[in-house]
Amino acid sequence: MDQPANNQPPDHTPIFQRIKDYLLAQIGAGVWKEGDVIPSEQALVRQFGVSRMTVNRAVRELTAEQVLTRRQGSGTYVAQQKYQSTLLQIKSIAEEVRARGHVHRSSLQHLEQLKASELMAKQFELAAGHPLFHSVIIHFENGVPIQVEDRWVNPDCAPDYMDQDFGAITPNEYLMQAAPLQGASYSIEALPAPREIADMLAIEVRQACLVLRRQTLSGGRIATIATMWHPGHRYQFAGSFTQ
């Protein structure tokens, strides 16, 4: 009996690229996580039946792309990824994560209405005791915590803030609709993580964090003040400007 014809086109992908794709697929699937050692080059040579030079090229290129990191005498490890945020535009962190082809998830830690302390009232240019909404949310990228968002909101600008499902929409996405942006100011500094922040970011206490503080205006009033903590070893801010 005749064998059925094989209609699959031949795979002309270079062998080193197939090895790269395999390594990336294992990392993407979570088989190897940040800090995990990958199989040795000799093990990959046996697995793929190719030369050491071919395997070395695949590993070398992934190292140059900062996907892997080599430690002399120890092996090759999955590198810690640097997630990035833009400063020239105010975007939802969920939008930034999805733009990288990654999965965003959030976890609501606190959502409450409080009376403004004298300090918070001064920052919002309100009378002490004026009601304020307060939320604390952890944002994840591919399951890795990358931001703790500690946000205060003026109810006069966003009266329905407390009614939102912040598992389905981010505070930024809601506020851009409810309190259209008129202006903003921000500052960035490096600070050691206090225990509560460290626990939420799954890092060591006093580990360096990039802290973005942002105040936004809407309708001539201060609508929201947010402090966003990011683990310094796996996050960076980036932007570009042309004139």
Instruction: Give the per-residue SS3 of 203-237.
Output: CCCCCEEEEEEEEEEECCEEEEEEEEEEEHHHEEE
Which CATH number do you get for residue 33?
1.10.10.10
Query: Given this model, what pLDDT does residue 3 score?
Result: 44
Q: Which of 2-6, 89-93, 119-123 has the lowest mean pLDDT?
A: 2-6
With respect to residue 1, please indicate whether it lies within any of the assigned structural domains: no
With respect to residue 228, please indicate whether it lies within any of the assigned structural domains: yes
Query: Given this model, what pLDDT does residue 89 score?
Result: 52
Residue that is last in its domain, among 42, 59, 78:
78
Q: Which of 25-29, 137-141, 146-150 has the lowest mean pLDDT?
A: 25-29
With respect to residue 9, please indicate whether it lies within any of the assigned structural domains: no
Does 72 lie in the same domain as 102?
no
Does 119 lie in the same domain as 43?
no
Does 44 lie in the same domain as 89?
no
Q: Is the pLDDT of residue 1 over 70?
A: no
Residue 199 exposed, middle or buried by CB count within 10 Å (0-12, 13-18, 19+): middle
Tokens of residue 55, six digits: 């395997």
Give the residue-averaged pLDDT of 183-204: 89
Does 94 lie in the same domain as 71?
no
Give the residue-averaged pLDDT of 76-85: 70
pTM: 0.63
Query: Given this model, what pLDDT does residue 9 score?
Result: 47
With respect to residue 8, please indicate whether it lies within any of the assigned structural domains: no
Which residues form the domain of 65? 15-78
Query: Given this model, what pLDDT does residue 243 score?
Result: 45
With respect to residue 90, please indicate whether it lies within any of the assigned structural domains: yes
Does 65 lie in the same domain as 51?
yes
Does 229 lie in the same domain as 109?
yes
Query: Given this model, what pLDDT does residue 84 score?
Result: 47
Which CATH number do you get for residue 231?
3.40.1410.10
- Strand order from edge to edge, sheet including 183-192: 104-115, 131-141, 144-153, 221-231, 208-218, 183-192
Residue 222 exposed, middle or buried by CB count within 10 Å (0-12, 13-18, 19+): buried
With respect to residue 10, please indicate whether it lies within any of the assigned structural domains: no
Q: Is the pLDDT of residue 86 over 70?
A: no
Query: Given this model, what pLDDT does residue 196 score?
Result: 96
Does 22 lie in the same domain as 92?
no
Domain count of the fold of the chain = 2
With respect to residue 30, please indicate whether it lies within any of the assigned structural domains: yes
Does 205 lie in the same domain as 121?
yes
Between 28 and 156, whose confidence is greater?
156
Query: Given this model, what pLDDT does residue 109 score?
Result: 97
Q: Is the pLDDT of residue 5 over 80?
A: no
Give the residue-averaged pLDDT of 200-228: 91
Helix/strand/coil percentages in the chain, nearest 5 = 30, 35, 35
Does 107 lie in the same domain as 73?
no
Give the residue-averaged pLDDT of 84-108: 76
Does 113 lie in the same domain as 70?
no
Query: Given this model, what pLDDT does residue 98 score?
Result: 87
Does 103 lie in the same domain as 186?
yes
Give the residue-averaged pLDDT of 122-132: 96
Between 85 and 101, whose confidence is greater?
101
With respect to residue 184, please indicate whether it lies within any of the assigned structural domains: yes
Does 135 lie in the same domain as 37?
no
Residue that is last in its domain, among 38, 59, 78:
78
Residue that is last in its domain, among 43, 78, 113:
78
